[in-house]
Amino acid sequence: MKEIKLRKYSPETDFRRVRDFLQQNYSAFAAPVNWGIERWNYARYFIAPYLGSCGLNTQDNSASIAAIRFWEELVGIWENEAGEIVGVANIEHPDKKHRDYGEIFIQRHSHHPELLEEMLQYGEKNFLNPLTKSCHIFVYEDDDLLLNVVKKRGYRLREKVSATHLESEIEENYQDNLPQGYSVHTMQENNRISERCEIFGRSFNHPDPKDWPSIYSYQQLQQAPDYDRKNDFYITDENDNLVAQAIIWFDEINKTGHLEPLGTHPEHRGKKLAQELMQACFARLQQLGATKMPITGGFDPFYLAIGFRKIRTCYSWQKSFGDDY
């Protein structure tokens, strides 16, 4: 049997290699079990720098850089003798006080189910939440392989913690039905970074500027290999204020379009702005060649209302280690 080795992540070369691994394996499963390329880009180039500086009220970048390094240090890579990646374990929120800290993500190769247990074990050892002394992982209801390993390792189903995998075909032609005074733009037209940081914060219900992304975080996002300013949309109102925002990501090999993030300013909700923004996103994705958009863990009522359909559910499983860990 070929030897597979676990090694540390090397930022200079591995970001792109893992990204390619995710892209090549995305369609190898009957239904996706790994992250799409958008989540990998977004975790490293936005969530990490944003979480690092969130709440600090500073434009000093050192906390963001430390969070990126912390995220990178925790990534584990399994490689075969030929030097090919066959598995990855990682976190999403590099902040030990974050409510989702302790979540294990494993990215797998369809030919190597035997690595599941080792990857989970790696997550338990390295990603444990120090406050709750527990780890958790989302498992799709149809993913028997992972479900068996999770149960075997003593995880328990968390009541009422689930996420839905939804999908929409991308086939419609965009029709502009925006309410009067509103218009859609992209960051390619005008790179309004500080206002884009503000509308990100406000649309996720953070009125306090200290909780908005720093300029540095947004600059990082714009350096993500799969980010394109043409795919970064915002809506302005009649006073040219930014009131809604969305970014799409295109996976050329799998012909999928992904969305991360989407939000509308609380004072402008209920006017179909997010729905209209999605129409603009679909039109762009159609142009690029995407045929569908999968979403897991979004705000379901909105997506169902605009035509997404439910594919399956994933549930959260938790393992507690108690005081004797």
Q: Is the distance from CB of 96 to CB of 130 less than 8 angstroms?
A: yes
Pairing state of beta strands 5-8 and 76-79? antiparallel
**Which of 210, 316, 312, 308 is closest to 262 using CA atoms?**
308
Q: Which residue has the tokens 């996420």?
A: 163
- The SS3 call for residue 43 is helix
**Which of 45, 52, 50, 47 is closest to 66 using CA atoms?**
52
User: Which of 120, 244 has the CB closer to ligand COA?
Assistant: 244
Q: Is the distance from CB of 229 to CB of 186 less than 8 angstroms?
A: yes
Compute the least distance from the CB of residue 130 to ligand COA, in Å: 28
Residue 294 sits in the site that holds ligand COA (CB under 6 A): no
Compute the least distance from the CB of residue 210 to ligand COA, in Å: 19
Q: Which of 29, 70, 174, 204 binds ligand COA (CB under 6 A)?
A: 204
User: Which of 153, 272 has the CB closer to ligand COA?
Assistant: 272
- The SS3 call for residue 316 is strand
**Which of 25, 57, 24, 46 is closest to 93 using CA atoms?**
46
Compute the least distance from the CB of residue 274 to ligand COA, in Å: 3
Q: Which region, judged by CB under 6 A, interacts with ligand COA, from 4-12, 71-79, 138-146, 294-302?
A: 294-302
Site string for ligand COA, 260-279 (x = CB under 6 A): --xxx----xxxxxxx----
Pairing state of beta strands 156-169 and 134-140? unpaired
Residue 298 sits in the site that holds ligand COA (CB under 6 A): yes
Q: Which region, judged by CB under 6 A, interacts with ligand COA, from 11-19, 49-57, 124-132, 300-308?
A: 300-308
User: Which of 113, 307 has the CB closer to ligand COA?
Assistant: 307
Residue 299 sits in the site that holds ligand COA (CB under 6 A): yes
Alpha carbon distance 222, 207 (integer Å): 24
What letter would DSSP give residue 107?
Answer: E
**Cα angle 30, 311, 88; round to 5:** 50
Q: Which of 181, 301, 323, 324 binds ligand COA (CB under 6 A)?
A: 301
Number of amino acids touching ligand COA (CB under 6 A): 18
Compute the least distance from the CB of residue 167 to ligand COA, in Å: 14
Residue 177: other Cβ atoms inside 10 A: 9
Q: Which of 283, 302, 311, 320 binds ligand COA (CB under 6 A)?
A: 302
Compute the least distance from the CB of residue 38 to ligand COA, in Å: 12
Per CB under 6 A, residues contacting ligand COA are 203-204, 262-264, 269-275, 298-299, 301-302, 305-306
